[in-house]
Chains A and B, each alone.
Chain A
Amino acid sequence: RKEVEQDPGPFNVPEGATVAFNCTYSNSASQSFFWYRQDCRKEPKLLMSVYSSGNEDGRFTAQLNRASQYISLLIRDSKLSDSATYLCVVNILRGFQKLVFGTGTRLLVSP
Chain B
Amino acid sequence: DGGITQSPKYLFRKEGQNVTLSCEQNLNHDAMYWYRQDPGQGLRLIYYSQIVNDFQKGDIAEGYSVSREKKESFPLTVTSAQKNPTAFYLCASSIAVPLLGTSLIEQFFGPGTRLTVL
Contacts from A to B (Cβ < 8 Å): 4, 8, 31-32, 34, 41-46, 49, 51, 87, 91, 93-104
A91 touches B42 (CB 8 A): no
Q: Considering the chains assembled together, what is the distance between the CA atoms of A104 and B97 in angstroms? A: 25
Number of B residues contacting the other chain (C-beta, 8 Å)?
A: 25
Q: Considering the chains assembled together, what is the distance between the CA atoms of A93 and B33 in angstroms? A: 15
Q: What are the residues of chain B within 8 A of A97 when measuring CB–CB?
A: 31, 94, 97, 103, 105, 107
Q: Which DSSP category, helix, strand, loop or mixed, fits chain A's interface?
A: loop
Minimum Cβ distance to chain A for residue B38 (Å): 10
19 other contacts beyond A43-B109, A96-B97, A102-B42, with CB at 8 A cut-off? A4-B42, A31-B103, A32-B104, A43-B90, A43-B111, A44-B43, A46-B107, A49-B104, A87-B42, A94-B99, A95-B97, A96-B50, A97-B31, A97-B97, A98-B45, A99-B45, A99-B107, A101-B35, A103-B40
